[in-house]
Chains A and B, each alone.
Chain A
Amino acid sequence: QKEVEQNSGPLSVPEGAIASLNCTYSDRVSQSFFWYRQYSGKSPELIMSIYSNGDKEDGRFTAQLNKASQYVSLLIRDSQPSDSATYLCAVKGGSNYKLTFGKGTLLTVNP
């Protein structure tokens, strides 16, 4: 079983819609969860981190964590064409401090 799994997409949404990105992880004792955005040819940049069950909002972005279900998601409200990128889910913690990534979901926001 893969440690961190994401739908590879591509996920296509119209401008102004809500984009929903999902991630599951296998290590039940994971402590920290992150969402990164990566534009083509660029390095990943952190957009959200979450450590406790529930929702965390930052502008148009909301991260949701459910440790019992081993599930973390990212919602992007009022999606813009500039949000078009690959979104990477990352998980840290458990028995060591490795930071493990999913393969990423390609999001396309259509004007």
Chain B
Amino acid sequence: DAGITQSPRHKVTETGTPVTLRCHQTENHRYMYWYRQDPGHGLRLIHYSYGVKDTDKGEVSDGYSVSRSKTEDFLLTLESATSSQTSVYFCAISDFPGKMNTEAFFGQGTRLTVV
């Protein structure tokens, strides 16, 4: 299994509170992604990173921010959680973009409930 660890695995938080999810990799892969998965919507890209301190928005980035200060860690922050952000969050990693075999591998997921 690819060395990807997400923490926490489960979290319940109150509306309006800040929440940070962590993705840690031991594969030294350049690309890291944050997705959310909801019934009827599939996997939707929130943000991704193509290097340390290099990030870009995905299709559902509103209400989320990210940071990547080290190759191995990619943090997703909900500045003020809302009930619409209740979801399962997946982190994924991928190798050098110039290579053809740039498969992405996923972490175990974080189930976040905002009450």
Contacts and interface: CB of A to CB of B under 8 A. Distances in A.
Interface of A: 31-32, 34, 43-46, 49, 51, 88, 90, 92, 96-104
Given A97-B31, A99-B94, A43 B100 contact: no
B34 to A, nearest CB: 11
Given A96-B56, A98-B48, A99-B94, A44 B43 contact: yes
27 contacts: A32-B100, A32-B102, A43-B106, A43-B108, A43-B109, A44-B43, A44-B90, A45-B106, A46-B103, A46-B104, A46-B105, A92-B94, A92-B102, A96-B56, A97-B48, A97-B102, A98-B56, A99-B45, A99-B92, A99-B104, A100-B45, A101-B42, A101-B45, A103-B40, A103-B42, A104-B42, A104-B43
A interface secondary structure, majority: strand
A61 to B, nearest CB: 14
B50 interface: yes
A49 B50 contact: no
Given A43-B108, A43-B109, A97-B97, A103 B41 contact: yes
B interface secondary structure, majority: strand
A12 B42 CA distance: 20
Given A32-B102, A90-B104, A92-B102, 18 more contacts: A43-B107, A43-B108, A44-B43, A44-B106, A46-B105, A49-B101, A51-B100, A88-B43, A97-B97, A98-B45, A99-B33, A100-B45, A101-B42, A101-B43, A101-B45, A103-B40, A104-B42, A104-B43
Interface string B38-72: 00111111001010000010100000000000000
Nearest to A100: B45
Interface residues of B, number: 27
Contacts of A98: 45, 48, 56, 58
Contacts of A43: 90, 106-109
Interface of B: 31, 33, 35, 40-45, 48, 50, 56, 58, 90, 92, 94, 97, 100-109
Contacts of B106: 43-45
